[in-house]
Amino acid sequence: MEIIEFEITEATEEDLDAIYDVDKKAFSYPMSRSSIERDLRDRRLSKYFVARLLPFNEVVGYIGLWCIFPEAHIVSIAVDPDYQGKGIGNKLLQQALAWLVNSGFKHVFLEVRVDNEVAINLYDKHGFEKVSVRKNYYQDGSDAFVMVKDLTKKEEQ
């Protein structure tokens, strides 16, 4: 497996186009550019982190959160398909969860396609639990699992 170096940093408005590009590459139905832009501007209610490929500083992944204390929602997590399978999504999720815990959030929710086994395995690994199914959640009619993580529980080592 090729080893790549990257760092996780807080996203800024200057990352808008790069985040949108990753989203378009990763998903058949990407978020709108205006939605991402709104999230990046509204720092009271949202938080984004990006994975930057070193030494080029190229954004190759991101995670977006909506934060309504004491709960948060993972809006999206995406990695450029050329860089998937290299641990970037895992590191993005770790960074977001650490920030949420350090900020005092109690729970974090997300939706994931019921057939996205790679993502479901990642969330399971980080202590998320399936709590329900949203029928016809995605634009193509696919269902989604709703998953939640209790951030007040100590992780078992």
Q: Which domains does the chain have, with CATH numbers?
A: 6-150 (3.40.630.30)
pLDDT of the residue at 73: 97
Give the chain's mean pLDDT: 93
User: Over the stretch 38-87, which tens digit does the pLDDT of each residue have?
Assistant: 999 988 899 999 999 988 889 999 999 999 999 999 999 999 999 999 99
Helix (H, G, I), strand (E, B) or coil at 133: strand
Mean pLDDT of 24-43: 92
Q: Is 62 helix (H, G, I), strand (E, B) or coil?
A: strand
Mean pLDDT value of segment 90-94? 96
pLDDT of residue 29: 86
Higher pLDDT, 8 or 153: 8
pLDDT given for residue 157 in this prediction: 36
Q: What is the mean pLDDT of residues 27-36?
A: 91
Q: Give the DSSP per-residue string, 93-141.
A: HHHHHHHHHHTT--EEEEEEETT-HHHHHHHHHTT-EEEEEETT-STTS
